[in-house]
Chains A and B, each alone.
Chain A
Amino acid sequence: MKRKSSIFVWCLVTIIFMFALVGCGSSETTASTDTNKTIKFGVNSGNTATEVFNVAAEKLKAEGYTVKLTEFNDYITPNKAVEDGTIDYNFFQHIPYLKAYNENNGNKLAYIGTGLYNLSYGIFSINLKSINDVKDGMKVGIQNDPTNRSTSLHMLQDLGLIKLKDGVELPTLLDIVSNPKHLNIIEMDEASIVNAMKDLDIGCVCSEKWVKAGNTMDQALISKVDKVNTMVVVTTKGNENSETAKKIDEAMKSAEVKKFLEEHYKGVMVPLF
């Protein structure tokens, strides 16, 4: 009998102790959100946006913010993480991507301010000298995510190489109605396009990836700065006008960021501030 009661006491003690621990934990997190000085930020690890954010993060740190950075490897989980509150903000996407994401995922996210910079897209090749050299059956690499694929396909259409079905907002390979040169269009991860350039005849990719791999923009057969694809910092709906959000927007539009973009990505990422 005595033994039984002692077990019971121990259980009770353990339970109380666990509650105390949980209590400590939660009070700690409320304390940090109260001060509003910790920003949980998500970025994509391979993305040039991360480099831009790091410049802005220095600015935020100088203003007394603690920046907690989480790196993701794809373009969906950083948005999911903002939705469920694991992180507060993310920076990796442009407005069309956010729009497409929101339409399919319950419209819970919004972007801060008016956007930061526009991206250049290009058609690159190391085998061809001109876009007119594109011949029957050549291999064309395009990005495999919905919005960049759409940009690539539209570029090919503008060049008269393919024709897309009318009125499809984000076309895929299945929306190509005519392909007179029988181009072999292959959907690939953006880094793979740049890495496998030797095996492709042409590759359509965000110019930043091309430049980041140590190439230059003179190798572009054609390039354009897309006015639509504006990069934005994203947070949950309702939080986009908060004090912290405004601070982040200021930091992202600082002179340091502008200088960084002009030094490293001139003509590739064009600032809007």
Chain B
Amino acid sequence: MDAIELLRMVLMPSLGQTLFMVIVTTIFSTIIGFLLGIILTLTKENGLKPNKIIYKLLDALINVIRSFPFIILIVAIIPVTRAIVGTSIGMKAAIVPLTVAMAPFLARLIETNLDEVNPSLVEAAQSFGASRTQIIFKVLIVEALPVIVSSLTLSIISVIGCTAMAGVVGAGGLGAVAITYGYQNFNDTIMYSTVIVLIIVVQLVQMFGTLSYKKLKK
């Protein structure tokens, strides 16, 4: 089988799989990441509603999850994955560990982003009698939005890298093709072609991220 045909038959479907995994993971992680990030910002010592116990617990939990090397995380949470999607193999199954890995990462970034908002803006809002919800959504998030978009771009790109590892458990995707049909089959054409496709995907994500950042910053 010549390389071109091989590329057409394995590369195109796997690009679809990678994009599916990345998009679904991003949607779930953004929701969870935002929630966790906001809770962290609220409950920290100088936050709007300090709560040592919740903050410490979440803080520790996030650190624990982030300590797992991704390949081990996939295997370690197999029972959870099975409980949620009913199986531990395939694309849908890979989304669980991908989300578990990305959400805390994003939560940390969002926490930092919200921290960076000028405290005098919050004080000003408080003096106008703004409620806590108003401060979160109308001041903190609005002010931090451009950097949050940058954080999101960063997370999406790291998820693209992680999907390659998910290929080990039969998730498919470009990474799996690069390893199975490229590296292990001694086929450099396939290996480097998949990498080139990944480079293009990452470039596009970064370009879009930077563009949105600039737009929002104005």
Contacts and interface: CB of A to CB of B under 8 A. Distances in A.
Interface of A: 74-76, 100-101, 104-105, 139, 141, 144-146, 170, 172, 174-175, 186-189, 192, 195-196, 198-200
B179 interface: yes
Nearest to A139: B89
A100 B170 contact: no
A199 B88 contact: yes
Contacts of B179: 144
B185 A199 contact: no
A170 B180 CA distance: 13
B10 interface: yes
B168 A174 contact: no
B6 interface: yes
User: What 8 pairs across the A-B complex have the smallest Cβ distances?
Assistant: A104-B186, A186-B170, A199-B87, A188-B170, A144-B180, A189-B168, A199-B88, A145-B184
B183 to A, nearest CB: 7
A188 B89 contact: yes
Contacts of B169: 188-189, 192, 196
A195 B185 contact: no
Given A196-B89, A199-B82, A146 B170 contact: no
18 contacts: A104-B186, A139-B89, A141-B89, A141-B170, A144-B179, A144-B180, A144-B184, A145-B180, A174-B1, A186-B170, A187-B176, A188-B168, A189-B168, A192-B75, A192-B170, A198-B82, A199-B89, A199-B93
Interface string B169-182: 11000001001110
Max count, chain A CB within 10 A of own CB: residue among B10, B82, B184: B184
Contacts of A145: 180, 184
A94 to B, nearest CB: 15
| Chain B interface residue number, banded | 20 to 34
A188 B171 CA distance: 9
Chain B interface helix/strand/loop/mixed: helix
B9 interface: yes
Contacts of A189: 168-169
Contact of B170 (A76, A172, A196, A198): A196
Interface string B89-127: 110010000000000000000000000000000000000
Contact of B180 (A101, A187, A199): A187
A172 B10 CA distance: 11
A268 to B, nearest CB: 23
A195 B170 contact: no
Contacts of B73: none
A138 to B, nearest CB: 13
B184 A75 contact: yes
Contact of A146 (B10, B87, B88, B185): B185
Interface in B152-202: 168-170, 176, 179-181, 183-186
A187 B78 contact: no
A195 B6 contact: no
A222 B191 CA distance: 34
A56 B156 CA distance: 48
